[in-house]
Structure 1
Amino acid sequence: MTKAVWQVDKSHSALEFTVKHMMISKVRGAFNNFDATVEADPNDLTDAKIEFSVELNSIDTRNEDRDNHLRSNDFFDIANHPKMTFVATDIKKKSDDNYDVTGDFTLRGVTKPVTFDVTVEGVGKDPWGNEVAGFSGSTKLNRKDFGLVWNAALETGGVLVGEEVKINIELEAHKQA
């Protein structure tokens, strides 16, 4: 297979995160509006071009008050920083279908290198004869590294919001003609 442009099918894709709440449970959320540019040979991602852009306003934690707080200056400050982006800068093959994809991750005006563990889930044809590829990826980052420092102390000790954020991505992409 040769390098091609792949269009992300948002209806079969997800961008989700998990963060500790009150040091005892986890809160999950998703971003419902994102775009990705993937120019790659799914059999060898080492020279792929991968870019992500996420509309932070599309956050959904199934709680409107919490979502609005996350949109505020306490967290994402979407009035000044409406998008989160990732641009791959280095891709290393770990095994047949597994890669370390490192890139410039930008959130709230701060850009730092972040590495995603990416798996090519497979390539095949849909019922209409279109080539489709599946990718999954995950990473962990410290939200404080990106200026998301708001927190509240708990009476019992500890804090309301954990520092470590786990990000999980599931992508289905269609090869463009």
Structure 2
Amino acid sequence: MKKLSLTLVGLLALTASQVASAADYVLDVKGAHAFINFKANHLGYSFLTGRFNKFDGKFSYDAKDVAATKITVNIDATSIDSNHAERDKHLRGGDFLAVEEFPTAKFVSTKVTDKGGDKVEVVGDFTLHGVTNSITIDATKIGEGKDPWGGYRAGFAGTTTIDVSDYDFKAGWVGKIELELLIEGIKQ
């Protein structure tokens, strides 16, 4: 009986240490160390690039249990910036983002798979233009460690491609858009 009790105590301690080793991070948008960029084909002649200037998010991460990672990112769709005011007005309008009706986009992870060698596959629900679809982000852990201000940070880069026809855009001729996420989080 004594041996069983010690085994149970050991198991509880091990479980507690695994739970305690996961860390919660907030995206460093205040210090401009996180970015959400996009790239779209422009009429088959060139590419249009831009970014979303306003977003926030958080993630929970443990290098020893990558599968337990949880990620949430909220994007202010009104902050789209393609470096051209008139085009941005059009992108915010009814043909594309329709920001008056759908001012935010959101990503919530549902599954994270460690692919080895700092490679991670992140599957989650992406809501854009009022439509939610499952997407896969191929990501790489850039690094983690102490920062010069006494904090601790972790950074990742990831890409995914979405088809605007999956999100009910009126201007379906745009086709596919590549999203690039450069995420640096500050441990809480």
TM-score normalized with structure 1 length: 0.90
> 1:42 offset after TM fit, Å?
4.1
> 1:5 offset after TM fit, Å?
1.0
Q: 1:32 aligns with which of 34, 43, 53?
A: 53
Separation in structure 1 between the aligned mates of residue 185 and residue 156 of structure 2, nearest angstrom = 8
2:94–2:170 contact (8 Å) kept in structure 1: no
| Residue of structure 2 in register with 1:2 after alignment | 21
> 1:128 offset after TM fit, Å?
2.3
Instruction: Output aligned runs, 1:1-177, within 5 Å.
Output: 2-10=21-29, 11-150=32-171, 162-176=174-188
5+ residue gaps, structure 1, are: 152-160
> 1:76 offset after TM fit, Å?
0.7
Separation in structure 1 between the aligned mates of residue 64 and residue 83 of structure 2, nearest angstrom = 37
Separation in structure 1 between the aligned mates of residue 65 and residue 86 of structure 2, nearest angstrom = 43
SS in 1 for 2:66: strand
Separation in structure 2 between the aligned mates of residue 36 and residue 97 of structure 1, nearest angstrom = 21
Aligned length: 167
What do the CA deviations read for 1:50-88 (whole angstroms, capped 9, x no partner)?
A: 011100000000011110111111111111110011110
Structure 1 residue ranges, 4+ long, deviating more than 2 angstroms after superposition: 42-45
What do the CA deviations read for 1:102-133 (whole angstroms, capped 9, x no partner)?
A: 01111111111000011111111111221111
Separation in structure 2 between the aligned mates of residue 133 and residue 101 of structure 1, nearest angstrom = 16
1:94–1:100 contact (8 Å) kept in structure 2: yes
Moved more, 164-173 or 126-135: 126-135
Separation in structure 2 between the aligned mates of residue 168 and residue 43 of structure 1, nearest angstrom = 25
TM-score normalized with structure 2 length: 0.85
Q: Which has the higher helix share?
A: 2
SS in 1 for 2:61: strand
From the CA coordinates, give the structure whose radius of gyration is larger.
Answer: 2
Amino acid at match of 1:165: I
Separation in structure 2 between the aligned mates of residue 106 and residue 97 of structure 1, nearest angstrom = 27
1:42–1:133 contact (8 Å) kept in structure 2: no
What do the CA deviations read for 1:14-73 (whole angstroms, capped 9, x no partner)?
A: 100000112010010100100112111145421111011100000000011110111111
RMSD: 1.4
Separation in structure 1 between the aligned mates of residue 170 and residue 64 of structure 2, nearest angstrom = 40
Separation in structure 2 between the aligned mates of residue 123 and residue 131 of structure 1, nearest angstrom = 7
Amino acid at match of 1:52: V
Q: Which has the higher strand share?
A: 1
